[in-house]
Amino acid sequence: MTTRLCLVRHGETAWNAEHRVQGQLDIPLSEVGLKQAQAVGRALKEEHFDAIYSSDLVRARQTAEPIANFLSIKMLLEKDLRERHYGIFERLTYAEVKVRYPEDYARFEAREPDYAFRTGESLKDFSARSIAVISKIVNEHKDKSILVFTHGGVLDKLYRFITGLPLSAPRNFGIPNAGLNRIEITPSGWQIRSWADVAHLERALDDLPE
């Protein structure tokens, strides 16, 4: 019994290009991102999927729309697939955060599991949310093929969950905009089959470390 997941990070936004913190703010795709969404659709249109899930944030939904429309599969919106809540960092560039909130930035850069941006979400809580929602999707579609559109932070937490990389460890893997990430779940466990595939894209920015 094998459940297959293809997880896609949303396409590029203007804020991605500016290194501006989006978090749970609802920022749409840029022209580059819209083209990436079309490229994802072309790359996946010959594949079979039993369900398509997306974060309810517009940048994920816009990335999912081309393939959902092509396959005539209703997109299922899931709030818990959202990006981490970055609290006081949201709307600022990382350079601005470093100047305005140096102590907070140091705790963020150190990847403290309990640090929550004063009004945001800790790594520990965000990881628990991310793994819980992906596990719920898997349990509801056992032995099926599922397509999931989400955010860089959720993908980070899933990779760490599968590989055992601690939350506090530096990221040593890519999370590009509109990249394809394939996971298989069998009775023996979760396995990464491919990660950060961008063969279908002309260009892709990598996600910034948290």
Q: Which residues are catalytic?
A: 10, 83
Q: Name the CA dihedral angle for 108, 111, 117, 122, rounded to a multiple of 10 degrees.
A: 170
CB 180 within 8 A of CB 6: yes
Which residue bears the tokens 């517009």? Answer: 58
Residue 72 half-sphere exposure toward CB, CA atoms < 13 A: 0
CB 10 within 8 A of CB 149: yes
Nearest 5 degrees, angle CA 186-CA 77-CA 18?
Answer: 100
Cβ within 8 Å of residue 134, ≥6 positions away: 5, 148, 154, 158
Which residue bears the tokens 């072309």? Answer: 42
CB 178 within 8 A of CB 204: yes
Distances (CA, A) of 22 to 57, 89, 175: 11, 9, 16
Structure tokens at 35: 């083209």
